[in-house]
Amino acid sequence: MGHQHFNGLKTAALLGGIFGLLLLVGGVIAGGRFIWAFALFGLAMTAYGYWNSDKIAIRAMHARPVSEAEQPAMYRIVRELSTRAQQPMPRLYVSPTMAPNAFATGRNPRNAAVCATEGILAILDERELRGVLGHELMHVYNRDILTSSVAAAIGGVITSVAQIGLFFGGGFGGSDEDRPNPIAMLLIALAAPLAAVVIQMAISRTREYDADEDGANLTSDPLALASALRKLESGTRQLPLPPDRELVNSSHLFIANPFRGDGFSKLFSTHPPMAERIARLESMAGYRR
């Protein structure tokens, strides 16, 4: 399933940018002495987040595993699409919330989980649900969980390191000569976390476009996903999730932004505008208004 755009290259460049930002912060704060310690710390946090990504997201949504008797449509759709993609069947979960949404997680296809909320199961018909589940499966097959884990973990390390450096008043140099310029230190402490967030958002948005396109190719029905996204745009606006910390950290996993996206907060949304996503899907189907 080839991409008709360069999102893979964009993602690689963005990941390089966030890792470079980590090294820059470490270099400024530590005077270059412990720069690789920061890099190793970032890798360790990435590994932890990646290995536990399924547990974290499922726990945050209070989701429970469901049997085929409970959710025959979910099982039928996911089994069909998994077979078509020649991938193993993931575990299926349902979250007891009426906020309409869905997400996939897990470090690889053999350890994947797909979760739908009770709200999304209530508002989508089976064709639309198939479009959503195709999107979520492609997140797993494209290894997007690894990508988002890397970005989130390193972004968190950047923020923590910048705050520690500011707390210690200018880094960890052994003498005054080794310490960074206090103005540079202040700028890094304030700007680096913001830059990390912006890069994470860019990575997440890029991955959403890919999952839309590849999911539509998997289902051979881009208009089904477009129709589902219209309902989700309205549904998530009316019933947003509460801004719990674990949910905020997992927001990039959802097919639609689970929180209110009004005003200034739209600039830091983990998802592209719904209108743009729908327009791309309609273009794939050759749809003209």
* Assigned token pair, 104: 């996939």
How far is 28 from 34, CA to CA, in rounded Å? 10
Q: Is 122 left (phi over 0), alpha (psi -120 to 50) or beta?
A: alpha
| Active-site residue, selected from the candidate residues 128, 136, 208, 213 | 136
* Assigned token pair, 271: 């998802």
* Assigned token pair, 146: 């690894």
Q: How far is CA 98 from each of CA 64, 129, 193, 219, rounded to the nearest angstrom?
A: 15, 15, 33, 26
Closest among 47, 45, 215, 50 to 148, alpha carbons compared: 50
**8 Cβ contact list (under 8 Å, min separation 6):** 210
Element (H, E) at 160: helix 144-167
Tell me the backbone φ, ψ of residue 117, rounded to 5 degrees.
-85, 160
Work out the angle at residue 167's Cα, subtended by the Cα atoms of residues 164 and 171, and round it to the nearest 5 degrees: 70
Closest among 104, 107, 143 to 12, alpha carbons compared: 143
Q: Is 208 a catalytic residue?
A: no
Q: Are 210 and 278 in contact (CB under 8 A)?
A: no
C-alpha 192: how far from chain center: 20
Could you tell me the end-to-end alpha-carbon distance of the chain, in angstroms, rounded to an integer?
A: 27
Q: Which residue is it, tokens 């797909």?
A: 114
Residues marked as catalytic: 136
